[in-house]
Amino acid sequence: MEFRILGPLEVVHDGKPVALGTLKERLVIAVLLLHANEFVPRERLIDDLWGEAPPPTARKAVNVYLSKVRKALNVAGADTIATGAGGYRLRVEPEALDASRMQLVAASARDCVSKGELESAADRFDEALSLWRGPTLAGLQFESRGRDEVARLDDLRLAVLMDRIDCDLALSRHERVLGELNLLVREHPLQERLRGQQMLALYRAGRQADALEAYAEARHALVDDLGLEPSGALQRLQQAILRHDPSLETPEGTASVNGRLANEGAPPSTPTTDLEVGTSRTRTRFRPRRWQVVLAVLVILSGSAAAAAILSNSAGASHDVVPDSLVRLDPSGKVASVTQLGAEPQQIAAAANGIWISNLGANSVSRYDLHNHKVLTLGAPPEPFNVVANARNAWVSSLRSSRIITRFAGFGTGDSSGWGPLDPSSTPTIDLPPPGAVSLALGSGYLWAVAGPKTTFGTDDRVWLIDPANNHVVRELRLGSETTSIVYANGTAWIGAFGSERKLLDGERTGASWLFSVKLGATGPRTHKYRLDTGDTAGPVGVSVGYGRVWVLNCGTCNGPTDNQELIEFDPNKRRVVKRIALTGRNPNALAVGAGSVWLVDQVHASLIQLDPKTHHMRIIPVGDPRSAAICAIAASRDALWVAVGNRYCEDSGD
């Protein structure tokens, strides 16, 4: 008899499946197989079948289930379940359980790796992976510790997969594994070993810029969302790519990827000109040229607020905040640079190599280059509003039409000379049904779009997932509540929404604010809905993620400075609101998280509200003269806050 748990539960005898009965009976078999040849107490079975609230008849029910399971498994004429004092044991030969066979084959593959037999190791890892038919015990939901044991086996599959990819990289099969790595990184955005493998494969494929962009995306996920720096191994890999380290082209170069370095905690060794001479070979350590040393130092320094301020000052930037400018503040709230844009800004987006600004009134889009500190202004769709960007592309939504324009940029080398004016007739567009998209986000390899708060009254509950490679909508979700804002972080899209709308006699509306989480999985999107508030409200106007929390700016009725607005702190692990912070009188209209704080825009008073995410202490930071300027939008990174300053009203033509 053969038992299979690496996928849906199956029992096979003489090549034919064995009927396993009801869901509870299948759960009993699954728990016994997770502990094959081990004694499992009856109380453990009760926990996994019913959790913390078992029925009074639970013990009797377990006995009935075991009796039926025995009968189902007795097709070979032998009783495989032994009964002990208050528990049971399912006798299984190691070769008869797919999980045991998988671990034996994987151990054999690792033995081949230790002997240097990488071809054989890769084949053995593939053999182990072939035993998986899907998620472990797919379709069965455990109420207790069984969930952790299932997760352990799924994690083991990922470990085996990464071991096999290591072999492929060592065998120079980087082109073969690139597509697989891109998908895996989408599924496991915080798995640094996968990120390193992806970077190495891209570098070996001659795509150095893409490899550095992959590092920037990994750092963004770790630092901005979780407050963690990338591991030393990943940082050393980035530096090795920057200096074209010859070791990256050797099989041994993969050691810097998978974290199994001889001295993980030690700093990178200082390059030297010495030659190490052995009896069989001469090895020359990498000797950087002077310009490469200077470049590496500048790259390291450019990640700090102080260095960026020095660069801005050297370019002659003024710290007098004026309308139509992009302002950079350091984490303390001090203005570090001011760059005039030449047009009124509306929304901004921060990428690894530049800051994108939509100029609604001027029908243009500007990009501030973080390398040469120059501003390039491009044509755009009519009335450009929201903008999102990564290191190579930017997407801009239009208030006038439902189109989203894709803007292809350079690789972040600091050279913008190849860019020309954007021609809407030749630029890829994404056509969405009315009212079209205003709020945008990037994540899991998709462009996410929602209707947003700027559309007309009584708008839309749809969320669109767009493939940026071909500009096609690949999925449409209906939430049942009007979408107002979206952010993507740590594998999850968080969407603000307004629901339960009803019109009153005076024409106003009332209802509840909601927060949705959408996470993509192998079986499709998993959506959860959380109530944030009830009563008179227009829904969240901003959602952001950072420091282990989801932060929601709730608009209240959005009628003016005396409105009942609040900042809501939502714990994604506990799945509940943990704090509400009243903002009455400040009338904030934008939100960003990063640079050590939660930041809110007080547009009317041309100032920022800086909130400490731990102590919740707030302070007001004036930015510009409120008589002539206003803050139109903000974006935060680890080391800086970027503020778009416009005229007194940040006028737009949205409804």
Exposed, middle or buried: residue 95 (CB in 10 Å: 0-12, 13-18, 19+)? exposed
Q: Coil, helix or strand for 400?
A: coil
Looking at the chain, the domain(s) classified CATH 1.25.40.10 span 188-256+291-301
Of 255, 267, 246, 167, whose CA–CA distance to 203 is shortest?
Answer: 246
Residue with tokens 């950079």: 328
Cα gap 644→601, rounded to integer Å: 11
Looking at the chain, the domain(s) classified CATH 1.10.10.10 span 2-129
At the topology level of CATH, where does 2-129 sit? Answer: Arc Repressor Mutant, subunit A (1.10.10)
Are 542 and 591 a contacting pair, CB within 8 Å? yes
Over its C-alpha atoms, the chain yields an Rg (Å, rounded) of 29
Secondary structure of the chain: what % helix, strand, coil (to 5)? Answer: 30, 30, 40
Q: Under CATH, domain 188-256+291-301 is a member of which superfamily?
A: Tetratricopeptide repeat domain (1.25.40.10)
Are 411 and 419 a contacting pair, CB within 8 Å? no
Whole-number pLDDT of residue 423: 45
Q: Which ranges of the chain have pLDDT less than 70?
A: 76-78, 143-144, 224-226, 252-319, 401-402, 405-428, 434-435, 452-459, 500-511, 522, 534-538, 556-564, 584-586, 648, 651-655
Q: Output the pTM of the full model.
A: 0.53
Q: What pLDDT digit, counting tens, does each position of 192-232 carry?
A: 999 999 999 999 888 888 899 899 889 888 876 667 788 88
Are 498 and 484 a contacting pair, CB within 8 Å? yes
CATH number of 335-584: 2.130.10.10
Structure tokens at 278: 């052995």
Q: Coil, helix or strand for 506?
A: coil
Omega before 56 within 30 of 0, i.e. cis:
no
Count Cβ atoms below 10 Å from residue 586 Cβ, excluding itself.
Answer: 20
Residue with tokens 């003269």: 625
- Amino acid letter for position 61: A
In order, the DSSP letters of 251-282 are GGGGGGTSS--TTTTSPPPPP---EEE-SS-E
Sheet holding 630-636, edge to edge: 335-340, 325-329, 641-646, 630-636
Q: What are phi and psi of 458, to 5 degrees?
A: 75, 55
Looking at the chain, the domain(s) classified CATH 2.130.10.10 span 335-584
Q: What are phi and psi of 353, to 5 degrees?
A: -125, 5
In DSSP terms, 439 is beta-bridged to: 450
Whole-number pLDDT of residue 598: 94
Are 389 and 406 a contacting pair, CB within 8 Å? no
Of 89, 75, 104, 93, whose CA–CA distance to 42 is shortest?
Answer: 89
Whole-number pLDDT of residue 652: 46
Of 541, 571, 578, whose CA–CA distance to 559 is shortest?
Answer: 541
- Amino acid letter for position 222: L
Cα gap 204→176, rounded to integer Å: 12
Are 417 and 462 a contacting pair, CB within 8 Å? no
> What b/e sequence results for 436-463 when a residue is b if at least 16 CB atoms lie within 10 Å of its CB, and e otherwise?
bbbbbbbbbebbbbbbbbbbeeebbbbb
Output the CA torsion sign for 114, 118, 119, 125. positive
